[in-house]
Structure 1
Amino acid sequence: MSAAPTSVAAVLRGGAAALAAVLLLAVAGCGGSDEPADGTITLPPAPSAEGTSAPPPAAGVVYKLSGDLCEKADQAPFADLYPKEDAQPLVNTEKLCVTRRTSADKSISLTIDADLLPNEAAAKLFVETGRRLAKRPFTDVTGAGSDAHWSGDKDDVKLTSYHGNLVLEVQAAANVADGMPDDVVQRLVRVAEGTYAKLAP
């Protein structure tokens, strides 16, 4: 079986995403490199997910988080390819879940980062600022909240969106030797949509 693809640096990077984005709001005018990362891949845009519970209408919905996110996040879209989840997630708080799923010969790391903002306008600004300062190209998708978009390379694909006052960043990482599922974007869309539905007040 392949070694776990999640490094300590990757975990710290995922856990610090919210803080970094807030800090970036203050320096939005400074900009950054627009050069894409090496090995950027183009995956098909995800259609609206079917067969997944949809979150409630965003207008006026106010999320509140409690309990462990790994128990509440919807990991089902990856369960057919990677049926076994590690007994102990690497990180499991009310706002961050970092876990690994495995099959007989492959593994994938899933990171679900939930950021609560004061209201929907703040969540929208948070995501729009992240898009404006993105260091690698992104592609818009539908079916996973508002302003959903993904960016990625051969071993790391992240989907970002918001719904009401909640921002979700859902990321899959795999060893290059294991390979990334061809439909990883669609699966991340379904993870986000299902997680919004499960966390809805």
Structure 2
Amino acid sequence: MRAARTPVAGAVRRGTAAVFAAVLLAAGGAGCGGSDEPGDRTITLPPLPSTEKTSAAPPTGVVYKLSGDLCEKADQAPFADLYPTEDDKRLASTEKLCVTRRTSPDKSISLTIDADLLPTESAAKLFVETGRRLAKRPYTDVDGAGADAYWDGDKDDVKLTSYHGNLVLEVQAAVNVADGMPKDVVQRLVRVAEGTYAKLAP
């Protein structure tokens, strides 16, 4: 059995840092989101019931504080039915980053849950909006996972980004193309984000 392609923790952090740097520079006037040329590797996944852009949620006043092991707190249950076993040794496990692999008898999937604490809710909103503007892959807005949630991806890598209060969550699934991505991966990532926000809530 081949291991799923696993996002490298350092690369994840560097990507997040790049977006945050853009936020700090207030990169106003950046081009509209999504590439006009999706390319051959873009995967078409079923949308959630609402295909319209998610409206900005009113301020929640929730102030998150992170501590302990994110892998122990993150909600992996939405993938447990397809991939019941988690590897004993996680690739990354800190208070802000969880990179782990789940397997079934014939396939595997890598999950990355990246949590970023921002000083305020407005900073978290700007972080996500800037990431959308700078996205290198076509993206689709979705409802049900925090505020301003959107996903982008291809046949072996799908990521959901959203925020709630001052917390930004980037939840990513990666597989070998031969194993195939679950057709409802976006809905499962939405449920991971919802559950993780709930578990991390102060």
With normalisation by structure 2, the TM-score equals: 0.88
Counterpart residue identity of residue 155, structure 1: D
Deviates more, 1:25-34 or 1:95-104: 25-34
Please give the per-residue CA displacement for 1:12-43, whole angstroms capped at 9, x wherever unaligned: 22122321111223273565993434311121
Q: What is residue 46 of structure 1 aligned with on the other side?
A: 48
3-state SS of 1:19 partner:
helix
Counterpart residue identity of residue 24, structure 1: A
Of 5, 12, 22, the residue aligned with 2:20 is 22
Within 1, Cα distance between the matches of 2:118 and 2:170?
A: 14
Within 2, Cα distance between the matches of 1:40 and 1:58?
A: 34
Counterpart residue identity of residue 2, structure 1: R
Alignment RMSD: 2.0
Within 1, Cα distance between the matches of 2:34 and 2:81?
A: 38
Within 1, Cα distance between the matches of 2:80 and 2:146?
A: 22
Residue correspondence of structure 1 range 13-162 to structure 2 within 5 A: 13-25=11-23, 26=25, 28=27, 29=29, 34=35, 35-47=37-49, 59-162=60-163
Equivalent pair of 1:144/1:189 in contact (CA under 8 Å):
yes
Deviates more, 1:123-132 or 1:32-41: 32-41
Within 1, Cα distance between the matches of 2:72 and 2:103?
A: 17
3-state SS of 2:183 partner:
coil
Within 2, Cα distance between the matches of 1:33 and 1:141?
A: 15
Q: Deviation of residue 46 (structure 1)?
A: 2.7
Percent of residue pairs bearing the same amino acid type: 77
Q: What is residue 5 of structure 2 aligned with on the other side?
A: 5
Equivalent pair of 1:37/1:153 in contact (CA under 8 Å):
no
Unaligned runs of 5+ in 2: 51-57
Counterpart residue identity of residue 154, structure 1: K
Q: What is residue 199 of structure 1 aligned with on the other side?
A: 200
Please give the per-residue CA displacement for 1:58-104, whole angstroms capped at 9, x wherever unaligned: 61100000001000000000000000000111000000000000000
Deviates more, 1:96-105 or 1:33-42: 33-42
Q: What is residue 190 of structure 2 aligned with on the other side?
A: 189
Q: Deviation of residue 182 (structure 1)?
A: 0.3
Within 2, Cα distance between the matches of 1:105 and 1:58?
A: 44
Within 1, Cα distance between the matches of 2:10 and 2:26?
A: 22
Counterpart residue identity of residue 3, structure 1: A
With normalisation by structure 1, the TM-score equals: 0.89
